[in-house]
Amino acid sequence: MPKCRGKDITEATIEQLQKWLTDGAFSARDLTSCYLSRIEKLNKRLCAVIEVNPDALTIAEERDRERANGQYQGILHGIPFLVKDNIATKDKMQTTAGSSMLIGTEVPADAHVVYLLRKKGAVLLGHTNMSEWASMRSTYYAEGYSSRGGQSRNPYNLAEHAGGSSSGSAISVATNMCAFSLGTETDLSVILPADRCGVVGIKPTPGLTSCEGVIPESHNLDTVGTFGRTVADAAIALDGIYQGSKSFALHLADIEALKGARFGTPWLRIWKKAASDETSRIQYDALQGLLQRVKDAGAEIHPVNLPSIKEVVPQNGSWDWDYPSSRGHPERSEFTVVKVDFYNDLKKYLSNLITNPNNIRGLEDVIAYNINHTEREGGVAGTHPAWPTGQDSFDKSFRSAGIEDNIYHSALEYIRRKTREEGFDKALFVNGKELDGLLVPVQADGGVALQLAAQAGE
């Protein structure tokens, strides 16, 4: 990556970038221009950025004027960032969840998380590509593909996907297209792409960050998270979108903080799978080395188990949020909750649009548009390689009619109880004492632990 006014910003942290801005090594306009050049150079191959903000340089210049006038807003002042394409921005850009049908719509306001970042002086570079409709539309789909943004690619292996649904947000941070980015998660959509792209992803507990102005999936499970090249960067970004008085970055202490800490490592179906699976063995060995470093720093590590794990996720550890329904128990399924929530939450989001040229008012309109534009949107099974099953998940959601019946409420109660009271709550106690947390692999276990966390709403 070329130097930015003589400074090598490759892998530079937010703290380092802010120091250079404060010292006058370069301006916010310079930094923004350098990142825009990086996007222009790499994006045709990686398809990480779906749209560049035409006002990015103008915004950066305003940040420079604010700094010159003593109106410094904090560590994010003048720092460029990207947001996933389902996070609304009220500007010249489109917010479409990757779909062509929402092109031309006008949102009433910035998503609240974007409003907060603008208020703190950050510079919005653009929108990132994603798995269209945040992976909600189909049972089988090409991870990281959208009709609007094309197929995003893993920067470390172009033949591999980058995870999803926040694919472009992870890719852009991994390839130095921005300082940090925002993504969303219902189930694995921040943590999986972060893992696949070798960056840090923080998926906050739903409710910790606002989902106002985000194209929804489920109000019970959705959350906005952050991506950074370091834990500190991701935490600083989280501070930027969190309204409370707590600072997550403040809790980033040195390694001394691990002295006396107590962690659990769930074995059954999680670390055990990682240890026994041949393709995961290299990851497992590397992770064991990291666990040893945690021990060497003075922490205790205890083997634990999640009692209800066999009842919640498939035996083979693969991701399937409708697993119980396949066994005849929709009243125990995460997807039972999601499909009802999506029907209702999407209609509410669409009703707030100021302009809506394709007249997309509800899920029935979404389904009809995809069928009428199946060559591009794959509305019919077998017509588009990115969606071999068409839009079967949309169809299931539509058939639910958004009715919160006894099965819906039973499913919500079941997944919460099995993953909370009968899951994490039990695993976090050893010999009557509460642990500080659980340490789990991300993909070496098939993402099992993350599925449980998603269903717990944690």
List active site positions.
84, 165, 189
Separation of alpha carbons 10 and 445, rounded Å = 32
One-letter amino acid identity for 82?
A: L
Supply 171's token pair.
């890719």
Separation of alpha carbons 391 and 381, rounded Å = 7
Cβ atoms 182, 87 nearer than 8 A = yes
Cα Rg, the chain, nearest whole Å:
22
Separation of alpha carbons 320 and 292, rounded Å = 32
Sheet of strand 49-52: strand arrangement: 49-52, 123-128, 80-84, 180-185, 223-228, 200-202
What are the backbone dihedrals phi and psi of residue 331, each rounded to the nearest 5 degrees, phi first? -75, 0
